[in-house]
Structures are given as structure tokens and as C-alpha cells.
């Protein structure tokens, strides 16, 4: 990946903000701009120099993964040295408002002293990350392919059987994701049986599968740092009439949301398209979260597809469309796909069917 080109683009934004340098502390942004995937590091990005500050654990990794930036090994923590470097590049330095804790902000301010102006910034790097290049989209495709393969192995491979627990199926998904060639899971899988499916972010438990349960599976894979995200709801045994009804509403809402995805369309329009279908079915109060979000180096990226977001979707972005209906103690259904925004409209990435599978 052309990390130098990415840094040049961010430098243009830095100049527009009248900054001499940017201190990048959010690790996904550090990775996006350098390729460094370690769990601790800071990038100081200026017009003349880009320096990656790491501790001694990551010296060799930084040299290998981020060969086109200057490595700096610090034994004194990751506050003082980056500030000293930034001060040498100019008197006005930006930092990522969402990338520092209050404690780190206090340490940064103390290290900066009176001669260095620290300027908070919002979403400078994230704005560029919204549009995925060809290599990024290829990694997302590979991550989704691993998730599709895991679904086939677990759901179509008869792993769902009477008495198996949610935790066991979550583990099966993780194992199959890795067997399919992924580096790991994109996030801890959500597996919910029966009444548990009415909790949108249910944590897998010892609850055992019973005939008549709906099963919600929300999971994804990670390949090269990039993630996939998919949700399917299947039936273990013939579902009730109410469960079929709710599934039909969610399926129609999801299809409406996908159809609304297009370059230049406001994120809120996608949310509205799906939410209208659910509302017209009298279930609006049971749809309790935004319809989706962007995906990439993080599982939740901007823009968030919510009713209050007027951010336009951009060609090259990858977003989820995932309406759900949750009736506590009764039933829960969610269907989710990643969708690439194209110049012609949209492209749904997962190959797994959205039709209700009855096992």
C-alpha cells in the first residue's frame, strides 16, 4: 500500500489547518499512514519528516512494517519524545482529540511547555480512511470470504444441534474463520438463541439451543488489519408465525436500506429507508440502533448511518446495512451486509443468502 501517498494527502489537510505537524495517536490511523500494526506507537507527521516513535518492544517490527518512515525508539514513554520531535517541526502542532485520554492530554501539555501550541483536531485522518483503495477493498473481500466460509461450515455443516450452547457456536465460528485463512475474528462473535436474540449485543452464554429457536449470528473476520461484518438469522426447526412475520419485515427493511445506498446520498437517508419499512409494520419502537456504519481498519468507522447524520456517502466507502427488530422475551431478528458504495450505486459484498434458512 502507498503509505507515502496517504501521508501526503493528510499533509494537505494539515496545511489547510495552518499546522506545522500532526501528532497521530490513534493506532488505526498510525497503521493507515505507516503500515505499523503494533499495539503501541505514535506518528509525528510534518512537511519535511515523518517519525514513528515506538518503545523497545517494537523496534524491529517498526523497521520491517514501516520502512519508509524514520523509526525512533523511546525508553522514556510515548509523550515526551514525540512532543520534542513535534516542537522541532514548528510551533503549532495538532493532536487527535479522540486519540488521547485526559491523563495523556495533561502529560502532553506539560511536555509542550509555553512555546508549543497544541491544537485539537477531529477526524483529519479518518476522512481519508472513508474511501477505500483497491488494496483495502481486496482485503475486506478476503475477510468477508472467510466469514462466508465460516457460516457455511457452522450453519450448513450441522453444527447447530439440540443442546449446543451459544458459547460453543461462537468458538466454532472463530475456529472456522481462522481455518478459512483469516488472521482472526474482527470482533467477539455475537451468538444469540431464542429470547437472547432480542438483545442486540448479546454476549454468548451457556444457553442451549432448543427446537423452535431463532438464532442470530453476528460475526466477522480480519485479514491484513481489515475487517468484515455480517449478521444472519436462521431458524432451528420450524419458526412460529410471529417469528416469520418479523423476519419478513426485517428482510424488507434491509433490502430497502441497501437500495438507498449510493454515492452522494446522505447517511440518514439509508437509515430512513430501512426504518420506514419497520415503522409501517408497527415495529418502529423495536428497532433501537442506527442502520449501519462504515467498516475498515476498525469495525465501526465513520460515517455512522443514523437518522441525524447528513454526511454524504462517498464512492469507495464500505458500509453496513443492518436493521433489526427486538421484542424482549419473544423474538429478535437482524440481517446485515457490507455494501460497497460505487459510482454506479452499490455492490453487496457477502455471498451468503439473506433468505430465511430453516434447519
Mark whether 16 and 75 lie in a shared domain.
Answer: yes
Return all residues near 168 (Cβ < 8 A) that are at least 6 apart. none
H or E, element range at 209: none
Domain ranges, residue 90: 3-129
Mark whether 144 and 106 lie in a shared domain.
Answer: no
How far apart are alpha carbons 221 and 352 in whole angstroms?
14
Q: Does any domain span residue 359?
A: no
Q: Would you give per-residue pLDDT tens digits along the chain (359 residues)?
A: 899 999 999 999 999 999 999 999 999 999 999 999 999 999 999 988 899 999 999 999 999 999 999 888 887 777 788 888 888 888 999 999 999 999 989 988 888 888 899 999 999 999 999 999 999 999 999 999 999 999 999 999 999 999 999 999 999 999 999 999 999 999 999 999 999 999 999 999 999 999 999 999 999 999 999 999 999 999 999 999 999 999 999 999 999 999 999 999 999 999 999 999 999 999 999 999 999 999 999 999 999 999 999 999 999 999 999 999 999 999 999 999 999 999 999 999 999 999 999 99
Mark whether 328 and 224 lie in a shared domain.
Answer: yes
Q: Cis before residue 303, ω within 30 degrees of 0?
A: yes
Instruction: Evaluate whether 343 touches 226 at the Cβ level (below 8 Å).
Output: no
Instruction: Evaluate whether 22 touches 95 at the Cβ level (below 8 Å).
Output: yes
CATH number for 338? 3.90.230.10
Mark whether 212 and 70 lie in a shared domain.
Answer: no
Global pTM reads: 0.95
CATH number for 85? 3.40.350.10
Mark whether 138 and 115 lie in a shared domain.
Answer: no
Q: Does any domain span residue 358?
A: no
Q: Does any domain span residue 71?
A: yes
Question: Residue with C-alpha cell 459510482?
Answer: 343
Using alpha carbons only, what angle is made at residue 321 by residues 319 and 326, rounded to the nearest 5 degrees?
A: 140
Q: Does any domain span residue 227?
A: yes
Q: Does any domain span residue 357?
A: no
Q: Does any domain span residue 309?
A: yes
DSSP 8-class letter at 39: S
Among 105, 129, 153, give the residue marking a domain's end: 129
Q: Does any domain span residue 108?
A: yes
Q: Does any domain span residue 300?
A: yes
Other beta carbons within 10 angstroms of residue 137's beta carbon come to 18
Mark whether 91 and 37 lie in a shared domain.
Answer: yes
First-to-last CA distance in the chain?
43
Amino acid at each position: 500500500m502507498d503509505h507515502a501517498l496517504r501521508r501526503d494527502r493528510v499533509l494537505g489537510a494539515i496545511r489547510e489547518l495552518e499546522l506545522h505537524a500532526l501528532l497521530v495517536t490513534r493506532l488505526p490511523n498510525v497503521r493507515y499512514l505507516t503500515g505499523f500494526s503494533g499495539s503501541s506507537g505514535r506518528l509525528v507527521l510534518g512537511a519535511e519528516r515523518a517519525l514513528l516513535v515506538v518503545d523497545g518492544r517494537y523496534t524491529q517490527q517498526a523497521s520491517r512494517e514501516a520502512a519508509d518512515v524514520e523509526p525512533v525508539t523511546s525508553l522514556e514513554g510515548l509523550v515526551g519524545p514525540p512532543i520534542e520531535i513535534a516542537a522541532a517541526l514548528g510551533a503549532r502542532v495538532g493532536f487527535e482529540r479522540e486519540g488521547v485520554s485526559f491523563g495523556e492530554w495533561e502529560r502532553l501539555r506539560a511536555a509542550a511547555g509555553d512555546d508549543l501550541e497544541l491544537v485539537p483536531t477531529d477526524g483529519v485522518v479518518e476522512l481519508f480512511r472513508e474511501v477505500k483503495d483497491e488494496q483495502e477493498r481486496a482485503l475486506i473481500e478476503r475477510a468477508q470470504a472467510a466469514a462466508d466460509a465460516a457460516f457455511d461450515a457452522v450453519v450448513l455443516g450441522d453444527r447447530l444441534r439440540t443442546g449446543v450452547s451459544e458459547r460453543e457456536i461462537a468458538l466454532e465460528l472463530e475456529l472456522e474463520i481462522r481455518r478459512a485463512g483469516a488472521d482472526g475474528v474482527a470482533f467477539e462473535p455475537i451468538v444469540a438463541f431464542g429470547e437472547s436474540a432480542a438483545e442486540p449485543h448479546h454476549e454468548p452464554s451457556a444457553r442451549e439451543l432448543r427446537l423452535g429457536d431463532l438464532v442470530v449470528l453476528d460475526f466477522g473476520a480480519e485479514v491484513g488489519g481489515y475487517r468484515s461484518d455480517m449478521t444472519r438469522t436462521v431458524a432451528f426447526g420450524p419458526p412460529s408465525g410471529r417469528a416469520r412475520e418479523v423476519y419478513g419485515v426485517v428482510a424488507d427493511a434491509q433490502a430497502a436500506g441497501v437500495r438507498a445506498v449510493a454515492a452522494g446520498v446522505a447517511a440518514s437517508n439509508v437509515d430512513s429507508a430501512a426504518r420506514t419499512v419497520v415503522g409501517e409494520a408497527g415495529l418502529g419502537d423495536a428497532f433501537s440502533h442506527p442502520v449501519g456504519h462504515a467498516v475498515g481498519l476498525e469495525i465501526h468507522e465513520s460515517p455512522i448511518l443514523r437518522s441525524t447524520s447528513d454526511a454524504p456517502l462517498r464512492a469507495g466507502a464500505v458500509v453496513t446495512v443492518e436493521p433489526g427488530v427486538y421484542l424482549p422475551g419473544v423474538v429478535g431478528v437482524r440481517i446485515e451486509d457490507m455494501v460497497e458504495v460505487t459510482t454506479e450505486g452499490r455492490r453487496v459484498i457477502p455471498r451468503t443468502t439473506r433468505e430465511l434458512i430453516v434447519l
